[in-house]
Amino acid sequence: MEKSKVAPGFYKPIPEETLVEWIAPARPFKKRSHQFFSTVLIIAILISLILFFAGQVLPVAVVISVVFLVYVTAVIPPQNVKYKLTNYGIYVEKEAFPWTVMGRFWFDTKSDQRVLEIELYRFPGRLTFVLIDGQTPREKDLETVLSEVLIQEKPEPTTYEKVAAWLKDKIPLE
C-alpha cells in the first residue's frame, strides 16, 4: 500500500495544547458603601421626576432598571470562572474565542483590581479577565503568551469612556 500524500497548501492539524490556565472572578468587584447607594438613588429619583413631569414615562422605567442593575452588581459578588489560553484561542468556561477574532491586549486597573483586557472584532467587543495578586498566572506569563499572537497596545479612550471618566471625577458617588 502507498502512503497517502498531502496536497500542496494543506497542513496537518495541530492538536490543541493548554498554555495557561487559571480561576478568577468573572468581573471586577468592589464592596460599596451605603453612601454610594443613597447617592445613586437620589440621582435616579431626580432624573425620574424630571422625566415624569416632562411626560416621558418609558425613560423612567429605564432609569429604574439601571438602578436595579447597579444595585445587583454592587451587592452580589461575582462567581469564580475558569479561564484557559490554548494555541487555538481563549476559553471562558465553555465559550471559545479564537485568536482570529482578537485584536490588541493590555493590562489595566478596574475597581482596584488588575485586569487583562482583550479587544474583540465581534460582540461583546472586549474581554476582561481579573488577575489576582499572588496567584498564577502572573502578568509577565500572560504577556509572554499573548505577545506571540496579539499586539500589546492600549487603545485611545472612546468618547463614551472620556465622558464616563469626566462624570466620575465631577460627581463622586462615594
DSSP string, 9-56: T--PPPPP-EEEEEEEESS---PPPHHHHHHHHHHHHHHHHHHHHTT-
Query: For the residues 101-108, what does the mean pLDDT come to?
Result: 94
pLDDT band at 133; cut points 50, 70, 90: confident
In the chain, % helix, strand, coil (3-state, to 5) comes to: 35, 30, 35
For 62, residues 6+ apart whose C-beta sits below 8 A from its C-beta are: none
- Look at residue 139 and tell me whether its pLDDT is greater than 90: no
Instruction: Determine the Cα angle at 56 with ends 42 and 172, to 5°.
Output: 25
Q: Read off the pLDDT of residues 67-82 as tens digits, 9 standing for 90 and up.
A: 999 999 999 999 999 9
How confident is the prediction for the chain on average, in pLDDT? 89
Counting every residue written for the chain, the total comes to 174
Indicate the pTM of the whole model. 0.78
Query: For the residues 27-41, what does the mean pLDDT come to?
Result: 92
Give the SS3 label for residue 87.
coil
Query: For the residues 45-59, what does the mean pLDDT come to?
Result: 94
Q: pLDDT at position 174, please?
A: 75
Radius of gyration, alpha carbons of the chain: 22
Query: For the residues 106-122, what does the mean pLDDT come to?
Result: 92
Pairing state between β 80-86 and 89-92: antiparallel
Given a contact cutoff of 8 angstroms between Cβ atoms, the answer to whether 114 and 142 are in contact is no
Q: pLDDT at position 2, please?
A: 47
Give the SS3 label for residue 98.
strand
90/152 Cα distance (integer angstroms):
16
Q: pLDDT at position 60, please?
A: 95
Lowest mean pLDDT among 25-39, 121-135, 148-162: 121-135
pLDDT band at 1; cut points 50, 70, 90: very low
